[in-house]
Amino acid sequence: MELLSLSDFLQNSMLQFWHFTGFYNVTIPHIVMLLVGMLFIYLAVKKDFEPMLLVPIGFGILIGNIPFQPGNEIGIYEQGSVLNVLYTGVREGWYPPLIFLGIGAMTDFAALIANPKLMLVGAAAQFGIFGTYIVAVTCLGFAPDQAGAIAIIGGADGPTAIFLSSKLAPNLLGAIAVSAYSYMALVPIIQPPIMKVLTTKNERLIKMKPARAVSQNEKILFPIVGLLLTCFFVPSGLPLLGMLFFGNLLRESGVTKRLAHTASNAMTDIVTILLGMSVGASTQASEFLTANTLKIFALGFFAFAVATFSGVLFVKIFNVFLKKDSKLNPLIGNAGVSAVPMSARISNDVGLKYDPSNYLLMHAMGPNVAGVIGSAVAAGVLLGFLG
Partner 1 sequence: MNKKGIAILLFSLFFAFTAFAQGRRALRINEVMVKNDSNYIDDYGQRTAWIELYNSSYGAMEISTMYLTNDPKDPTKYPIPRGDVLTEMQPRQHLVFFADNDPNKGTFHLSFTLTPGKDNWIGIYDTDGKTLIDQVTVPANLKPNCTYALNQDGESAGDAKFDPSFWGIRDGSASKYITPGSNNVIVDKNAKAANFSKNDPAGIIMTLIAMTIVFIALILLSVCFILFGKISTQSAKKRKAEAHGADSTSREVVAGVESDSGEAIAAICFALYQHLNAHDQEENVLTINKVRRIYSPWSSKIYSLRQMPERKF
Nearer to partner 1, 120 or 273 (CB): 120
382 binds partner 1 (CB under 8 A): yes
Query: Which residues inside 94-113 make contact with partner 1, applying CB under 8 A?
Result: 112-113
Q: How many angstroms separate the CA atoms of 199 and 295, rounded? A: 30
- Give the shortest CB-195-to-partner 1 separation in angstroms: 22
138 binds partner 1 (CB under 8 A): yes
Q: Which of 63, 50, 55 is nearest to 285 (CA)?
A: 63
Q: Please pick, from the candidates 50, 145, 157, 287, the single residue that binds partner 1 as defined by CB under 8 A.
A: 145
The site that binds partner 1 (CB under 8 A) totals a number of residues, namely: 50
Nearer to partner 1, 182 or 248 (CB): 248
* Pair 308, 125: CB distance under 8 Å: yes
212 binds partner 1 (CB under 8 A): yes
Nearer to partner 1, 126 or 248 (CB): 126
Residue 164 burial (C-beta neighbours within 10 Å; 0-12, 13-18, 19+): buried
Burial state string for 238-254 with b = 16 or more CB within 10 A and e = fewer than 16: ebbbbbbbbbbbbbbee
- Give the shortest CB-181-to-partner 1 separation in angstroms: 23
The pair phi, psi for residue 3, each rounded to 5°, is -85, 140
- Give the shortest CB-265-to-partner 1 separation in angstroms: 18
* E strand or H helix at 167: helix 158-168
Contact region for partner 1 (CB under 8 A) — 53-61, 273-281, 345-353, 373-381?
373-381
CA distances from 381 to 138, 190, 223, 299 (A): 20, 27, 20, 20
Nearer to partner 1, 82 or 225 (CB): 225
Q: How many angstroms separate the CA atoms of 113 and 107, rounded? A: 12
255 binds partner 1 (CB under 8 A): no
**Sequence-separated (6 or more) residues with CB below 8 Å from residue 215:** none
Contact region for partner 1 (CB under 8 A) — 44-52, 259-267, 281-289, 377-385?
377-385
Q: How many angstroms separate the CA atoms of 167 and 149, rounded? A: 8
315 binds partner 1 (CB under 8 A): no
93 binds partner 1 (CB under 8 A): no
Interface residue list for partner 1 (CB under 8 A): 112-114, 116-117, 119-120, 122-124, 126-127, 129-131, 133-134, 136-138, 143-145, 147, 210-215, 217-218, 221-222, 225-226, 229-230, 233-234, 370, 373-374, 377-378, 381-382, 385-387
